[in-house]
Structure 1
Amino acid sequence: MSLTRRTLLAAGGGGLLIAQAQPASAQADSAPSPIAANNALRIAMPAFASDPFFPADGAGDKGIDMELARGIAAELGVEPVFDRSAATFDGMVKQLMSGQADIAIGKLSRTLQRGRSILYSRPYAMLHQGLLANRLNLARITQGKPPEQIIRDFSGDLGVIEGSSFATYAATTFPHAQVRRFAGWNTVVDAIRNGTIDMAYRDDFEIKKLMVDDPSMTVVARSITLTDKVDTIAIGVRPDNPHLAAFVDLYLDLARGQQVLNTDEIIARYRLGSKA
């Protein structure tokens, strides 16, 4: 039996309704998830202090990184929730990898190794890498030659902070050095003071800040800036949220005017804060 024109139109209409319903359902299922869930932005930040980037846990809200974190959360319209449990910089990276945090803001250096596991914003600060050398040990090593001539082939004891980017950089920048890892910067500085290590490896800002805090260090130590080596500071983002990473870049571009802080600017801010 042949179908009438009316039956075909009805059937076609029913088919059209079904066809229209399927894309709507599929669209609902594939709707993008919110940039920050549960009205909160979970922010990983180290437990220790690094003025003027961030204060010690519970010490207040001032600092370059604290302002960035709160500014991003405000533009997203969510509450900033800080997790200060990370004992090292790498600890923040692990929180992003595990999904415990949405972003990590805490003077976090960009490295290729970390970039395999997390997303990064563009840099908001660019520092040079530097060395803090024990003066007596340096004189023994150089034997009157300019330090710049022997630095790259340095084979002495080099101190770094465990879980920092410089613990990663050391193997390639100073392949002949005996790398010694310390729990924190204060213990590295103590080792420079008493001469148990020859040099310490960190960014030039932290080394210059040390000289500001303790001018007596100039008697026992000398700072060396590696002008051809940079340490770029950026915001880490959990690897499964590229939308958030793009938003953070947009915030840095529009709200911060693409500003990239350098060592002198950060030192000036630190000096101002220390006088307050």
Structure 2
Amino acid sequence: MWLRGLALAALAWAAGAEAAQHEGLESIRQRGYLRICADPSNLPYSSNDPAAPGFEVELARLIAAELGVTARLEWRATYVRAIKPLRDGACELFMGLPVDRRFREGNPWIAVSRPYYTMTHGLVTRADAGSLTIADLKGQRVAVELASIAEFYVAYRDVVRGLYKTQEQAFQAAARDEAVAAFLWFPLAAWLARGRADLKVVAVSDEGLAFPIGAGVRKRDPGLAEAIDAAVERVLASGQAQEVLARYGIESARRTSREPPCSPFVLVQEKDPRETGRALFSTACSRCHGAEGVGGGTGGALPKLRNYDGGYDKFYRLVWEGRKNTAMAAFKGILSPDEVRALYEYLTSLPRQ
């Protein structure tokens, strides 16, 4: 019996040693390629079309070349659980992740490189509209994606929100004059507006709208995080990264020297968390749950949230993770833990009905 146990232990050790050989910088160099998870249909970021691969794919290939290997694309749709393939080992590199404290805290297993560009937002308007800002559009309809950062931002400005399921639909609304402007991620806005002489895109880099973006790897892969970071530095120093970004119209989307580097995104800043929660609830929750949590919103026969008494831990999980097979979306990555707490403080401060 003890021989059988020894044999099983030896097999387990061998399996562990074999698995370890497939992780880390040295194993990547030995096999000669770096696996990169990317969406096959997500231009301008990534595409499986050789004629238009997307700037994230082009940058990933440059990074792989700096490591002395080729890039192998592992195509995965990213609209649901985008980084799960990286965590599960389907690839070693995932482009386009925020260099942000909140993201690091929510995903402690990921290491993100230095940023290779700053993701900002873009205001899409008619080419002859003159110089416009969000403040100039007071009382006018601005198209935004539902539950996006852009929607949260304009909610605190005196504009009329035109809500759409996707950013592409919001763009088309502005192009058809259903809205005076669309407010989108800058790379997508620039891509959709390419070749349109009747439209222009203005980069908006206000605090809370600009995010440094880097390349992500698993921390457990030996030597890889440092190598990827150094590769990004070299690609930037050579000017190759800037050339790629310029081909996709992103050269103007850079952080200005007046903005603090890598600052965390904060939706609202209030001293009283209940007041913060009230503002957040009005923006993010009232459409489905009704004003002040009394029900009667578009979510149908939902319980009155102002009567919630399930405790904070359960409330946090519901907001953070959502509920499968329901309209309750996950707000991880949209709200911070402090903002979820503010929502809870607000709702539990209301008198029950």
What amino acid is the match of 1:254?
A: R
CA distance 1:248–1:230, shift in 2 (3 Å): same
Q: 1:114 aligns with which of 97, 103, 110?
A: 103
The answer (yes or no) to whether the contact 1:170–1:179 under 8 Å persists in 2 is no
The answer (yes or no) to whether the contact 1:93–1:236 under 8 Å persists in 2 is no
For 1:186, the equivalent position in structure 2 comes to: 168
Percent identity between matched residues is: 21
For 1:35, the equivalent position in structure 2 comes to: 25
Cα separation, 2, equivalents of 1:35 and 1:226: 38
More RCO (CA 8 Å, sep 6+): 1
Matches within 5 A, 1:97-176: 97-105=87-95, 107-110=96-99, 112-115=101-104, 116-117=106-107, 118-133=110-125, 147-149=133-135, 158-160=143-145, 167=148, 169-170=149-150, 172-176=152-156
Q: Does 1:84 align with 2:89?
A: no
Question: Which has a greater percent of helix?
Answer: 1
Cα separation, 2, equivalents of 1:197 and 1:240: 47
Cα separation, 2, equivalents of 1:172 and 1:64: 27
| TM-score, normalised with respect to structure 2 | 0.48
CA distance 1:131–1:256, shift in 2 (3 Å): closer
Q: 1:203 aligns with which of 176, 185, 189?
A: 185
Which consecutive unaligned segments of at least 5 residues does structure 2 have?
1-16, 250-353
CA-atom RMSD, angstroms? 4.3
Q: Does 1:69 align with 2:60?
A: yes
Cα separation, 2, equivalents of 1:237 and 1:126: 19
Cα separation, 2, equivalents of 1:126 and 1:71: 18
SS in 2 for 1:59: coil
| TM-score, normalised with respect to structure 1 | 0.58
TM-superposed CA distance for 1:70, in Å, is 2.8
Size of the aligned set, in residue pairs, is 219
For 1:57, the equivalent position in structure 2 comes to: 48
TM-superposed CA distance for 1:226, in Å, is 1.7
Question: Which has a greater percent of strand?
Answer: 1
Cα separation, 2, equivalents of 1:114 and 1:172: 18
Cα separation, 2, equivalents of 1:160 and 1:59: 29
The answer (yes or no) to whether the contact 1:128–1:226 under 8 Å persists in 2 is yes
Any idea what the Cα deviations from partners look like across 1:77-126, whole Å, max 9, x if unmatched? 555321122243x6532322333321112x55545553321321111123
Which consecutive unaligned segments of at least 5 residues does structure 1 have?
1-28, 139-145, 272-276
What amino acid is the match of 2:237?
A: G
For 2:218, the equivalent position in structure 1 comes to: 238
TM-superposed CA distance for 1:190, in Å, is 1.9
